[in-house]
Amino acid sequence: MTILIVEDDPGFRCMMREFLLCGGFNVESAETGAEAVKAALATRPDLVLMDYELGDMSGYDAACSLRYMAATRDIPLVLLSSLGTDPLIISAFGRLPSCRGIICKTTPLDAVLAQVRSALGLETQ
């Protein structure tokens, strides 16, 4: 299964990439919202892990772009952001049909993996 990580912080993106690779996933990555849309169209990932604060647009704007394209509208999305506890962001992402969860970046990695597996419909281990 392939996961697309959309994260503007190179260190965090690299850490998540290595963690998910070790978890047995194929991983693609994007730094901006525009790169995320292009990568999602090109690779058709099984899941998108999306940060909220991206350089060129918000993660919500990128998620809406994915939602309105037939080729990407059914790709599940998990918000992984330092703003993952903000009520307005929770409410906005909660209205997106493809959103399968919201995780704060300070969440332990084993809990992140459990959320990823759940979003993909895999049993947690």
Residue 114 belongs to a domain with what CATH number?
3.40.50.2300
Instruction: Specify whether the CB–CB gap between 48 and 21 falls below 8 A.
Output: no
* pLDDT for res 106: 86
- Looking at the domain assignment, is residue 124 inside a domain? no
List the strands of the sheet with 77-81, edge to edge: 26-30, 2-6, 47-50, 77-81, 99-104
Contacts of 11 (CB under 8 A, 6+ apart): none
- Looking at the domain assignment, is residue 125 inside a domain? no
Secondary structure class of 14 (helix, strand, coil) = helix
pLDDT digits (tens, 9 = 90+) for 80-115: 887 767 777 777 777 777 888 888 888 899 899 998
Instruction: Specify whether the CB–CB gap between 37 and 53 falls below 8 A.
Output: no
pLDDT digits (tens, 9 = 90+) for 36-79: 999 999 999 999 999 988 989 888 899 989 988 999 989 999 98
Q: Domain count for the chain, please give it.
A: 1
Average pLDDT over residues 27-44: 95
Note down the domain range covering 83: 2-119
Give the H/E segment covering residue 26.
strand 26-30
* pLDDT for res 88: 79
* pLDDT for res 124: 54
How far apart, in whole angstroms, are the C-alpha atoms of residue 33 and residue 59? 7
- Looking at the domain assignment, is residue 30 inside a domain? yes
